[in-house]
Amino acid sequence: MSAPSWVEHVIWWQIYPLGFVGAFPADPPDPAEHRLRRIVEWFDHAIALGASGIALGPIFASRTHGYDTTDHYRIDSRLGDDADFDFLVAEAHRRGLRVLLDGVFNHVGPDFPRNDKTWFRDYAFEGHGDLTTLNHDNPEVAEYVADVMSHWLGRGADGWRLDAAYAVPPRFWASVLPRVRDRHPGAWFVGELIHGDYAAVVDEAGFDSVTQYELWKAIWSSLNDGNFYELDWALQRHNTFLQHFAPLTFIGNHDVTRIASRLETPAHVAHALVLQMTVGGIPSVYAGDELGYRGVKEERFGGDDAVRPEFGSPPATIDTRAWTLHQYLIGLRRRHPWLFGASTTTLRLDNRHYLYRTHRDEKALIVALNIDESPLEISVPRAQVIAGSGAPPQAVVETLAVEPHGWRILAPT
């Protein structure tokens, strides 16, 4: 793994800034409001949660939702200006928080100020007529993207999420990223991939990481369908990825239905989070999930709005159970930083029961998940129960009991 060492310890708290501060889809706010600074008010909340980085959605000048960029060098006036960005970065770093930016370099909005037709393809991105695809075979486009990324890293950002990276030829990233790394060797780059051969794309493009959509889908789908075989298959794939890179893991983000709305059994939100926090990779928590927020993404105009709400000023009204669960499991993750590179080994598998060992070198935990209506009783390697639903930590056990729709985490002795 070639990623910078700080990534081994980061847990991202991801936000969609335009929605978070009420700048979209509401009427355009007064630029004098400097709404980007409202995000800073939530940094202490992120720290209390256990996060160590802030992953920002689009913050650059655009016409609507941020993914129709008009100027990559300018902060969106609905959010503020350069001084507001500098303030945000300074306050984040003062608290020990990393800052990840969202780079939309596959396509641009209709107001992008370039008249040279050689900069563009003759088609819209995924059928969106207001999103024009850049010509990634043009060396000037590559130079432009490298300069934009270097510019904001020079202003204090720590890395980039590369939006729609799956639509960009890997050779483009392979050309751009080394130029940026030469100037900013400590930066981290995660590509948005959905399908395909993640490891091959990472090798070809030069990403440090990619978004682990395969695991996201397998987590909620296996819990809803009562089919842990799907999850086991995904985790076997996940193991192969970890031999090359640490994927960005998530159970929610700005593009998908919230996990509390996605899962048919409310108790299984805990199982989803347990999975995310006990397998290898780099966890990202979507703002609001830790508060118990719900929201359904719909395939229509404005269909993202429900999962991109305004937050207002802290403190927030919280679902205490959701907050406590997130805080505890993120804390457990931070107490076991080796989980960054951990692999999993299946110990028991059937449709509604899953027992796995997550391990790296000599360090290990055992996780038991029960989504059945009946209790689970199973023999386990000698271990101490350190966390679980409906049960405080216990002495060393060799026979484990897990209540219906319950879970346990054990430390082998």
State yes or no: pLDDT of 388 exceeds 80: yes
State yes or no: pLDDT of 349 exceeds 70: yes
Read off the tokens for 130: 């207001």
Residue 392: the pLDDT is: 67
- Please name the residues in contact with 219: beta carbons below 8 A apart, sequence gap of 6 or more: 231, 234, 251, 272, 275, 276
pLDDT band at residue 25 under the 50/70/90 scheme? confident
Q: What is the mean pLDDT of the chain?
A: 95
State yes or no: pLDDT of 79 exceeds 70: yes
User: In Å, what is the CA distance from 333 to each residue of 8, 70, 385?
Assistant: 11, 39, 16
Read off the pLDDT of residues 39-65 as tens digits, 9 standing for 90 and up: 999 999 999 999 999 999 999 999 999
CATH of the domain spanning 5-340: 3.20.20.80
Residues 10, 249 contacting (CB under 8 angstroms): no
Task: Tell me what the mean pLDDT of segment 299-323 comes to.
Answer: 92
Residue 391: the pLDDT is: 65
State yes or no: pLDDT of 170 exceeds 50: yes
Residues 97, 51 contacting (CB under 8 angstroms): yes
State yes or no: pLDDT of 30 exceeds 90: no
- Please name the residues in contact with 80: beta carbons below 8 A apart, sequence gap of 6 or more: 31, 33, 34, 35, 36, 37
Edge-to-edge, what's the strand order for the sheet holding 107-108? 107-108, 128-134, 120-125
Phi, psi of 286 (to 5 degrees): -80, 125
Residue 124: the pLDDT is: 74
- Per-domain residue ranges of the chain: 5-340, 346-412
- Please name the residues in contact with 102: beta carbons below 8 A apart, sequence gap of 6 or more: 55, 56, 57, 58, 59, 66, 160, 161, 163
Which fold, 346-412? Immunoglobulin-like (2.60.40)
Side-chain-side CA neighbours of residue 383 (13 Å): 22
Residues 229, 262 contacting (CB under 8 angstroms): no
State yes or no: pLDDT of 395 exceeds 80: no
- Alpha-helical (H) ranges within 23-108 are 36-40, 43-49, 82-94
State yes or no: pLDDT of 316 exceeds 90: no
Nearest alpha carbon to residue 211 among 222, 224, 225, 196: 196
If one compares 51 and 301, the residue with the highest pLDDT of the two is 51
